[in-house]
């Protein structure tokens, strides 16, 4: 007897896929005219990336893309989210376009479509051309125009075939962790004023890219931002806790959500920033809040919240010692975060359609004597998260798809290759790909459209 037939079925058309990003998988860092990115430089700055790893070879996806498409096909993948590398397309950040770089993405898109896999393209997943960083990077407003030129090149080249576009991936990471004394490239610690400038420029360039997709991609194209909100989860699902968690969601994410989805920075937030508030020019807020078609949400964890007598109305609870976590300290499994972020975005910002553009976990994956990778922690993680995705669908929250991070083990930023997020194991010595046990479970979930 099959246990789950007819129950927990995902609707026809729900999109199942996996995601990667250019710097993390492509390799071929100095091939066919690609320019230097801030991550190439950062990897060569002593002490910044674990074990001195670089993106030079990564998963060699630049050369092995055909094989990787076959792998996706074998695993039943319906869609593939990848990013285009700015330094491959415009090596100097601004100036001449590198035809060979665009040709690569052209081949990739054609290959995907031939295999019946829908391409979802992200324009910026952190690999900023170093030449632009030398001018101040995201802190310098001139970057907005340069990003527009780059985005236009990509959209004009691929936009006849690519229907699904994402502007930026995780602005809080590439700005906050890159310029705010965090562990990411370019590894700066700028003033609060400059940090706010950098966010504002990233928001502007997002809005500009939305307009570029509208203008140059196929008429039925859809475009959105990918965000990674901190997700407050009600400790108990009672009205008082839900209310507290919603308040926390709005307050914690205000600096990004209010300008992008409401067209204005929150007055209390501006007041808090004082003289450090971003300089807003005429027309900025209209560009920043250009209407989008969907929101991409990356979900890795959440925080528990309870009601409080404080003026804020909520309290974020610390994780106690012994709360489980996967292979990184911040990877605390909170599967219901997936459901709640869809719900808050819908309730607080009227987001009608969303995709989980990333959800994943790093585990201590090892091949056993028979060569299998029995990643039971990821199996459990996957089932728990897909269940929450189903709950979001069932409650009519507009969730349209789920992309697992990542197709392959890959370059995990400051962790180098030491942390493995793939559904497929990569032997970096030989570039052999070996699907982990969880990949077979995912395949079966996709095939049946159910939580099996
Ligand atoms: C989100 C980022 O988009 C991705 O690049 C990264 O590898 C995963 N988080 C895991 O940390």
CATH of the domain at 303: 3.20.20.80
Average pLDDT value for the chain = 97
Please give the number of the atom of ligand 1 that sits closest to the Cα of 412: 7
Question: Of the candidates 284, 36, 259, 257, which has an alpha carbon nearest to the alpha carbon of residue 144?
Answer: 284
pLDDT digits (tens, 9 = 90+) for 251-275: 999 999 999 999 999 999 999 999 9
Does 226 map to a domain? yes
- Adjacent-strand bridge partners of 124: 168
How large is the average pLDDT for residues 149-177?
A: 99
pLDDT of residue 106: 98
Pocket lining: 20 vs ligand 1, CB cutoff 6 Å: no
Q: Whose CA is nearest to atom 11 of ligand 1?
A: 412
SS3 198: helix
Number of domains in the chain: 1
Share of residues in the chain with pLDDT > 90 (%): 98
Please give the number of the atom of ligand 1 that sits closest to the Cα of 226: 3
pLDDT of residue 50: 98
Pocket lining: 421 vs ligand 1, CB cutoff 6 Å: yes
DSSP string, 264-281: S--HHHHHHHGGGSPP--
Range of the domain at 101: 15-448
Does 191 map to a domain? yes
Token pair of 204 as six digits: 């502007």
Residue 358 is among the residues annotated as catalytic for this protein: yes
Does 321 map to a domain? yes
Does 232 map to a domain? yes
pLDDT digits (tens, 9 = 90+) for 208-241: 999 999 999 999 999 999 999 999 999 999 999 9
pLDDT of residue 175: 98
Check pLDDT > 70 for residue 3.
Answer: no
- CA dihedral sign, ordered 385, 391, 397, 398: positive
Catalytic residue, from 26, 170, 258, 388: name it: 170
Check pLDDT > 90 for residue 8.
Answer: no
Does 3 map to a domain? no
pLDDT digits (tens, 9 = 90+) for 360-382: 999 999 999 999 999 999 999 99
Residue 258 Cα to ligand 1 middle (Å):
24
pLDDT of residue 1: 52
What span, in angstroms and rounded, lies between the C-alpha atoms of 184 and 179?
8
* pTM across the whole model: 0.98
What span, in angstroms and rounded, lies between the C-alpha atoms of 3 and 106?
43
Does 239 map to a domain? yes
Does 121 map to a domain? yes
Does 101 map to a domain? yes
């Amino acid at each position: 007897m099959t246990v789950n037939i007819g129950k927990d079925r995902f609707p026809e058309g729900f999109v199942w896929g996996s995601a990667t990003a250019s710097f993390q998988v492509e390799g071929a860092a100095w091939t066919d005219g690609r320019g230097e990115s801030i991550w190439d430089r950062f990897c060569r700055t002593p002490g910044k990336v674990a074990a001195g790893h670089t993106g030079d070879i990564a998963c060699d996806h630049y050369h092995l893309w055909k094989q990787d498409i076959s792998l996706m096909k074998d695993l039943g993948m319906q869609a593939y989210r990848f990013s285009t590398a700015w330094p491959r397309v415009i090596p100097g950040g601004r100036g001449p376009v590198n035809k060979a770089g665009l040709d690569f993405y052209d081949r990739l898109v054609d290959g995907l479509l031939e295999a019946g896999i829908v391409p979802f393209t992200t324009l910026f997943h952190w690999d900023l051309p170093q030449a632009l960083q030398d001018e101040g990077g995201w802190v310098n407003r001139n970057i907005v125009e340069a990003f527009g030129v780059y985005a236009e090149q990509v959209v004009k080249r691929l936009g006849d075939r690519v229907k699904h576009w994402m502007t930026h991936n995780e602005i809080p990471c590439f700005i906050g962790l890159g310029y705010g004394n965090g562990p990411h490239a370019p590894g700066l610690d700028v003033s609060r004023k400059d940090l706010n400038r950098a966010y504002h420029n990233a928001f502007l360039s997002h809005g500009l890219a939305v307009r570029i997709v509208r203008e140059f991609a196929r008429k039925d194209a859809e475009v959105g931002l990918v965000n990674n909100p901190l997700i407050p989860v009600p400790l108990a699902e009672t009205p008082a806790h839900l209310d507290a968690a919603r308040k926390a969601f709005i307050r914690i994410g205000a600096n990004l959500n209010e300008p992008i989805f409401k067209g204005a920075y929150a007055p209390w937030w501006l007041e808090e920033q004082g003289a450090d508030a971003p300089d807003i020019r005429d027309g900025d807020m209209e560009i920043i809040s250009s209407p989008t078609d969907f929101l991409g949400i990356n979900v890795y964890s959440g925080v528990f919240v309870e009601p409080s007598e404080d003026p804020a109305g909520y309290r974020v609870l610390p994780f106690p010692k012994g709360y489980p976590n996967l292979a990184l300290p911040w990877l605390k499994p909170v599967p219901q975060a997936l459901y709640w972020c869809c719900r808050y975005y819908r309730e607080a910002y009227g987001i009608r359609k969303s995709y989980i553009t990333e959800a994943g976990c790093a585990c201590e994956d090892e091949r056993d004597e028979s060569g299998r990778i029995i990643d039971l922690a990821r199996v459990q993680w996957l089932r728990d998260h897909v269940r929450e995705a189903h709950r979001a669908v069932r409650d009519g929250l507009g969730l349209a798809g789920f992309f697992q991070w990542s197709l392959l083990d890959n370059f995990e930023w400051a962790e180098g290759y030491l942390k493995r997020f793939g559904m497929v194991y990569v032997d970096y010595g030989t570039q052999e790909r070996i699907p982990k046990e969880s990949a077979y479970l995912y395949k079966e979930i996709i095939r049946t459209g159910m939580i099996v």
